[in-house]
Chain A
Amino acid sequence: EPEVTQTPSHQVTQMGQEVILRCVPISNHLYFYWYRQILGQKVEFLVSFYNNEISEKSEIFDDQFSVERPDGSNFTLKIRSTKLEDSAMYFCASSEWGPAAEAFFGQGTRLTVV
């Protein structure tokens, strides 16, 4: 069965450092998403991406965040200067034709900022 893969599974970084979280969505999917879940809290939307551009972003997704689909298969989330409060599980998801379609999630990247 096709799946969304995320790397790394766990990343520890120093405050102020840049991190790049990587995702390989399912190959025939057109919509890509990043969500995050702070420990003990609900999953929150960060950004959606379609047709090589951001289609929607949340208030969380400020200038410190960026997304890219550099080579037609990978989908990356970059945090330029990490803060302690960026510590969370980050989930990549993809769907075939939008958020009303079945969403397939990666296993997540646990980011710890120290």
Chain B
Amino acid sequence: KNEVEQSPQNLTAQEGEFITINCSYSVGISALHWLQQHPGGGIVSLFMLSSGKKKHGRLIATINIQEKHSSLHITASHPRDSAVYICAVSPRGQGAQKLVFGQGTRLTINP
């Protein structure tokens, strides 16, 4: 079983729609990261969360530590938001010196 599961795997939406990507994890963590991977392959950090909620522009990330669940929301989506969004966790305890990645959610926003 994967330690980090994302849903959906693929998401296609129209410009302007509200987008939600979900991430569930099965291990204790010290932090959860949301990352963006563009078609060229480069990875950019969007958020790092250990509790609550963070907002940056049209992006909002939330985490519920008790339920081991996080969501990434995009408001007023735009074609330039098209990318793969990856959830990754920093495990607590043994194996703590790394990030464990989900499989990613491929988001396509059509004009």
Binding site for B on A (CB under 8 A): 31, 33, 35, 37, 41-45, 48, 50, 55-56, 58, 89, 91, 93, 98-108, 110
Count of interface residues, chain B, beta-carbon cutoff 8 Å: 25
Binding site for A on B (CB under 8 A): 30-31, 33, 35, 40-45, 48, 50, 86, 88, 90, 95-104
Q: How would you classify the secondary structure of chain A's contact residues: helix, strand, loop or mixed? A: strand
B79 to chain A, nearest CB (A): 22
> Which A-chain residue is minimally distant from B32 (CB atoms)?
A100
B41 in contact with A99 (CB, 8 Å) = no
A31 to B103, CA, bound (A): 24
A42 in contact with B102 (CB, 8 Å) = yes
B30 in contact with A100 (CB, 8 Å) = yes
Interface centre among A44, A55, A102, A103 (most CB of B within 10 A): A103
